Structure 1
Amino acid sequence: MTDSQVPAAPTPAPATPPATGAIDVQGPDFAALLAARLCHDFISPASAIVSGLDLLEDPAAQDMREDAMSLIASSARKLADLLQFTRVAFGASASAENFDSRELEKLAQGVFDHVRPTMVWAIESQAMNKPSARAVLNIAQIAASALPAGGVATLKGVTAEGRFLITADSLGARARLRPEVLAGLKGEALTEGLGGPWVQAAYLHALVRAAGGQIAVEVAEDRVSLACWVPA
């Protein structure tokens, strides 16, 4: 892939100084918010599996057995996809230093399989270091969340001058980012809004900055563009 195939990235803004009262990304409060976010992601499919099992055990609901089995199967797939995605996106797969972009595509697609928007993966087959892998997966999930009414999120990446540039363009009706996500992407503290969306954005900002890279975002009508670079 050449530079001409990658859209111009939003200009990264200077790093925002930590706001007064900002949560330390190394501290227990941040860890608690991150754990709560992951539990929120997992509880929905896990609860659906339990509901399906309850239907199977209910003598009065035997006519719904097929629906119950379908619910269990789809929810189990969603839970497995989220667990595999999270293991890499949030760093549990710490022993691996490099990741195959084709495997990362499968992990990202596992998230998009359970939401309205679709994904276009335009990153060539290559080995990606740990910061790049974590960044691209988190960007993919944030790009999906930017399209609540559906649309297309296109992810591109290119290595140039010792840097790996990642861009994600989310196009669709009512494309938007929550204010707390924008704050997290800038490295700002959560002052209002939901902690779950903020903590992922703050985590992405922290990991990119820790790797020596930069991140930027642009929001326009029916379009959200994310970009970052990290050392290749």
Structure 2
Amino acid sequence: MAVDTANLAALIGSRICHDLISPVGAINNGLELLAMSGAMAGPELELISDSVLNANARIRFFRIAFGAAGDQQMGRAEIVSVLDDISKAGRLKFQWDFTEGCNRSDVRMAFLAALCLESALPYGGMITMTCTDGKWSVSGEGRKINIDAPLWAYLDGSDTSANLTPAQVQFAMLPAAATQAERQLGFDHSDEKAAVWF
């Protein structure tokens, strides 16, 4: 059976994240052993440990955002754990305002939308993900929202001529995921807030 471009990209994302998570976890275990033995202590160990935790959080987040979605359910505790860990690691805070678990494809689209919003929040801020009656909204608030119009035009398909960099791939992946899930994407922004819904 042939694999379309979007699904191939998701399979590649899953493979890369799957192969990276084990060695990063092993590094973290090694650091814990060093700390317990007293062989190494101080700011150097703390810096390495923080970097490993950050890498682990990003890989877990990317595995959901860029990996193959499938139809399986994700529990709320797992989702919140990923978002809490990634919130500790950077200038953005993430909030999941949904009391239940949900379909992995919905979580994937919410995470891709969050990555789009991350590009609009150069000074950091808060990204909130909510779902009411099956309608998802992912909103970002912060100082000086920076919307790169050619990138955001990818979301509604009004203009797909901009050349994307690797850091901007979410703008192409989100519409593909929405089409696959038969969802209509929308977005809006003001000076201090931007939102994506599907």
Contact 1:108 1:137 in 2 (8 A): no
- Out of 177, 180, 185, which is 1:207 matched to? 177
- Out of 20, 34, 43, which is 1:67 matched to? 43
Match of 2:132 in 1: 158
Name the amino acid aligned to 1:27. T
- Out of 105, 108, 119, which is 2:94 matched to? 119
- Out of 147, 167, 174, which is 1:196 matched to? 167
Is 1:27 the counterpart of 2:1? The answer is no
Pick which of 184-193 and 67-76 moved more: 184-193
Match of 1:222 in 2: 192
Is the radius of gyration larger for structure 1 or structure 2? 1
The structure richer in helix per residue is: 2
Cα displacement (A) at 1:118: 2.1
Structure 1 residues without counterparts, runs of 5 or longer = 1-24, 54-64
- TM-score, structure 1 as length reference: 0.62
Contact 1:169 1:223 in 2 (8 A): yes
Contact 1:175 1:223 in 2 (8 A): yes
Cα deviation, 1:132-180, whole Å, max 9, x if unaligned, reads 1211222233333322112222221123xxxx21112212111123335
Q: Number of residue pairs matched?
A: 173
Cα deviation, 1:176-209, whole Å, max 9, x if unaligned, reads 2333530332244352453421x21211111111
Match of 2:34 in 1: none
- TM-score, structure 2 as length reference: 0.72
Match of 2:52 in 1: 76
Cα displacement (A) at 1:68: 2.1
Cα deviation, 1:109-143, whole Å, max 9, x if unaligned, reads 3333222132332111x231132121122223333
Structure 2 residues without counterparts, runs of 5 or longer = 32-40
- Out of 186, 192, 203, which is 2:156 matched to? 186
Quote the Cα distance in structure 1 between the aligned partners of 2:77 and 2:84. 11
Quote the Cα distance in structure 1 between the aligned partners of 2:171 and 2:135. 18
Runs (4+) of structure 1 exceeding 4 A deviation are none
Name the amino acid aligned to 1:189. T
Q: What is the CA RMSD across the aligned residues, in angstroms?
A: 3.2
Quote the Cα distance in structure 1 between the aligned partners of 2:147 and 2:87. 17
Describe the SS at the equivalent of 1:214.
coil
Match of 1:62 in 2: none
- Counting aligned pairs with the same residue, the percent is 22
- Out of 117, 126, 137, which is 1:167 matched to? 137
